[in-house]
């Protein structure tokens, strides 16, 4: 259960697809899945062992210090800096797209998990320990009462360095030949622009996300410039300072893309 002032963005009990996937691997393969030491993962018996305390819950508290794409640059993750100072990476799990978009650098976070052993045996002859996340809660989200709009922007290394110098608070002024600032409405479109243009031009590109007060963004029309998800805002360069003044929170770097060798 989420504590007061915190929002539960992920609950394993609601993630039917993941539960069924691990159960199939456990039941139908020799080396995949988890050892049923406390019953089949996700079964009523398994949940009962957690409720009774026989399978203890571990709690990690800290602050989100980084959002990034892991794996083959296709797996959303985040880094927690725990109250102890130790850093660890976790999957950016959420039960809906709206909840997924609440992840932000600087937010307090609580994460509950249990430890299970995988069926695959390591060289020590034991299954590797696997931390099964039960729930992820984010703090300060519920206290945000002012409506905001989420914007995305494909960004090159030079522009990102200027954003970094601002403390990830402001976009730099446009150049004389850049009369319009083009943030887009979704991460998919931003990723395509990044990989097609920024990476080709600079060898590396970034997808960023930021939130702006809705009252400010309501003055601008969303323009569709191609497929249904090719949607963007056109902000005149002379109004960029006003947009910067209405950013809520920080400009986040969601992922990095590099040119393949």
Q: What is the pLDDT of residues 220-254, one digit of tens each?
A: 999 999 899 999 999 999 999 999 999 987 888 88
Q: Which residues of 126-145 are buried (b: 16+ CB within 10 A; e: fewer)?
A: ebeebebbbbbbbbebeeee
Q: Which of 139, 169, 197 is the last residue of a domain?
A: 139
Q: Which of 89, 104, 139 is the last residue of a domain?
A: 139
Task: Identify whether residues 11 and 43 lie together within a single domain.
Answer: yes
Average pLDDT (79-89) is 92
Task: Identify whether residues 86 and 179 lie together within a single domain.
Answer: no
Alpha helices in 72-229 (DSSP H): 97-100, 157-165, 187-193, 199-202, 214-217
Task: Identify whether residues 152 and 118 lie together within a single domain.
Answer: no
Helix, strand, coil tally for the chain in percent (to 5)? 25, 40, 35
**pLDDT exceeds 70 at position 3:** no
The span from the CA of 70 to the CA of 201, in Å, is: 23
Q: What is the pLDDT of residue 214?
A: 92
Task: Identify whether residues 132 and 87 lie together within a single domain.
Answer: yes
Q: What is the pLDDT of residues 116-144, one digit of tens each?
A: 998 876 544 455 788 999 999 998 654 44
Average pLDDT over all residues of the chain: 89
**pLDDT exceeds 50 at position 170:** yes
Task: Identify whether residues 101 and 178 lie together within a single domain.
Answer: no
With a pLDDT cut of 70, the percent of the chain lying above it is 92
Note whether residue 184 is domain-resident.
yes
Domain range enclosing 163? 148-258
Q: What is the number of structural domains in the chain?
A: 2
Q: What is the pLDDT of residue 105?
A: 79
Note whether residue 42 is domain-resident.
yes
Task: Identify whether residues 24 and 132 lie together within a single domain.
Answer: yes
Note whether residue 1 is domain-resident.
no
Task: Identify whether residues 104 and 172 lie together within a single domain.
Answer: no
Domain of 183: which CATH number? Answer: 3.20.170
Task: Identify whether residues 13 and 126 lie together within a single domain.
Answer: yes
Number of Cβ within a 10 Å radius of residue 63: 15
Task: Identify whether residues 22 and 114 lie together within a single domain.
Answer: yes
Q: Which helix (H) or strand (E) element contains residue 8? A: strand 6-11
**pLDDT exceeds 60 at position 203:** yes
Task: Identify whether residues 69 and 52 lie together within a single domain.
Answer: yes
Task: Identify whether residues 75 and 135 lie together within a single domain.
Answer: yes
Task: Identify whether residues 103 and 26 lie together within a single domain.
Answer: yes
Q: Which of 139, 158, 187 is the last residue of a domain?
A: 139
Note whether residue 132 is domain-resident.
yes
Domain of 111: which CATH number? Answer: 2.40.50
Q: What is the pLDDT of residue 119?
A: 82
Residue from 104, 107, 109 nearest 60 by CA: 109
pTM summary value = 0.60
């Amino acid at each position: 259960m989420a504590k007061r002032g915190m929002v539960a963005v992920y609950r394993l009990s609601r993630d039917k697809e993941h539960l069924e996937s691990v159960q199939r691997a456990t039941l139908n393969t020799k080396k995949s899945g988890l050892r049923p030491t406390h019953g089949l993962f996700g079964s009523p018996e398994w949940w009962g062992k957690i409720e009774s305390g026989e399978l203890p819950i571990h709690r990690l508290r800290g602050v989100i210090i980084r959002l990034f794409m892991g794996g083959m640059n296709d797996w959303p993750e985040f880094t927690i800096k725990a109250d102890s100072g130790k850093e660890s990476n976790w999957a950016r799990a959420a039960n809906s797209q709206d909840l997924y978009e609440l992840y932000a650098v600087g937010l307090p976070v609580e994460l509950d998990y249990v430890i299970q052993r995988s069926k695959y045996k390591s060289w020590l002859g034991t299954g590797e320990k696997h931390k099964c996340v039960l729930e992820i809660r984010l703090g300060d989200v519920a206290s945000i009462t002012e409506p905001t709009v989420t914007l995305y922007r494909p960004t090159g290394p030079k522009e990102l360095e200027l954003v970094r110098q601002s403390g990830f608070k402001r976009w730099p002024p446009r150049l004389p030949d850049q009369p319009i600032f083009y943030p887009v409405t979704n991460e998919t479109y931003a990723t395509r622009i990044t990989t097609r243009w920024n990476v080709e031009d600079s060898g590396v590109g970034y997808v960023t996300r930021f939130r702006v007060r809705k009252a400010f963004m309501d003055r601008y029309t969303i323009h569709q410039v191609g497929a249904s998800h090719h949607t963007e805002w056109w902000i005149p360069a002379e109004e960029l300072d006003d947009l910067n003044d209405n950013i809520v929170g920080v400009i986040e770097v969601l992922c990095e893309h590099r040119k393949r060798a």
